[in-house]
A = this chain, B = another copy of it.
Amino acid sequence: MPTSAQPHGKRPGHPKGADHDRLGVVGGLSALSLDAMASIAYGPEAIVLVLALAGSAALGYTLPVTVAIALLLAVLTVSYRQVIAAFPTGGGAYGVSKTYLGRPAALVAGASLIIDYVLNVAVSVAAGVAALTSAFPELLPYRVVLCLVVLALITGINLRGIARSARAFITPTVVYIGAIMLVIVVGLIRGSPAVAHHGHHVQAVETVGVFLLLRAFANGCVALTGVEAIANAVPSFKDPRVRHAQRAEVALGALLATMLIGVGVLIEKFSIGPVPGVTVLSQVTEASLGDGPLYYLVQFTTVILLALAANTSFGGLPVLAHLLAKDDNLPHLFALRAERQVHRYGIAFLAVTAALLLVVAEGEMNLLVPLFAIGVFIGFTLSQFGMVKHWLTSRPAGWHYKAALNGTGGFLTGAAAIVITVTKVGEGGWLIVIALPLLVAGMEGVNRAYARFAVRLQVGEVPTPPRPRRSVVVVPVHTVNRLTHDALAVALSLGDRVVAVNVTHPDDEGEAHAFVEQWERWDPGVELVQVFDPRFRTAEPLITYVTGLRESHVLVLIAEIQPEHRWQAILKNQRGAIIAAALRRTDVVICRMRFRVGDRPPGPPHA
Contacts and interface: CB of A to CB of B under 8 A. Distances in A.
Contacts of A519: 3
B592 A590 contact: yes
Contacts of A10: 534
A367 interface: no
A489 B469 contact: yes
A467 B453 contact: no
A524 interface: yes
B339 A553 contact: no
B468 A555 contact: no
Contact of A338 (B458, B459, B524, B537): B537
B336 A541 contact: no
Given A523-B1, A524-B465, A453 B532 contact: no
Nearest to A456: B597
Contacts of A12: 504, 506, 509, 512, 532
A463 B450 contact: no
Nearest to A592: B590
B494 A555 contact: yes
Contact of A571 (B337, B345, B450): B450
A142 B530 CA distance: 53
A458 B542 CA distance: 26
A489 B1 CA distance: 16
A8 B544 contact: yes
Contacts of A296: none
A572 interface: yes
Interface stretch (A31-39, A242-250, A406-414, A479-487): A479-487
A482 to B, nearest CB: 4
B573 A333 contact: yes
Interface string A1-36: 111111111111101011000000000000000000
A434 to B, nearest CB: 20
Interface in A448-475: 449-450, 452-453, 455-459, 461-471
Interface stretch (A269-277, A389-397, A598-606): A598-606
Contacts of A594: 584, 587
Given A469-B489, A519-B3, A573-B332, A479 B459 contact: yes
Contact of A466 (B338, B524, B571): B524
Contacts of A574: 332-333, 336, 345
A607 interface: yes
Interface string A333-361: 10111111100010000000000000000
A455 B597 CA distance: 9
Given A463-B482, A555-B494, A332 B571 contact: yes
Interface string A273-305: 000000000000000000000000000000000
Contact of A462 (B467, B522, B568, B575): B522
B9 A532 contact: yes
A336 B574 CA distance: 8
A495 interface: yes
B529 A4 contact: yes
A553 B492 CA distance: 11
Interface string A310-326: 00000000000000000
Indicate the member of A482, A519, A535, A599 with the most B CB atoms within 10 Å.
A535
A492 B555 CA distance: 13
Interface string A147-171: 0000000000000000000000000
A4 B504 CA distance: 13
Contacts of A466: 485-486, 488-489, 492, 524-526
A506 B598 CA distance: 39
Most buried by B among A335, A453, A483, A544: A453
Contacts of A340: 535-536
Q: Tell me which of A13, A467, A541 has the highest count of chain B C-beta atoms within 10 A of its own C-beta.
A: A467
Contacts of A485: 463-464, 466
A364 to B, nearest CB: 23
Contacts of A486: 466
Contact of A605 (B463, B600, B602): B463
Nearest to A534: B9
B553 A338 contact: no
Given A1-B523, A594-B587, A602-B456, A463 B492 contact: no
A235 B8 CA distance: 61
B597 A457 contact: yes
Contacts of A598: 456
Which 5 A-B pairs rank lowest in CB-CB distance, beginning with the nearest? A332-B573, A15-B506, A468-B492, A463-B485, A466-B488
11 contacts: A3-B520, A3-B528, A17-B535, A332-B574, A457-B595, A462-B521, A466-B489, A468-B492, A490-B553, A562-B584, A591-B592
Interface of A: 1-13, 15, 17-18, 235, 331-333, 335-341, 345, 446, 449-450, 452-453, 455-459, 461-471, 479-486, 488-490, 492-496, 504-507, 509, 512, 516, 518-538, 541, 544, 552-553, 555, 557, 561-563, 568, 570-575, 578, 584, 587, 589-600, 602, 605-607
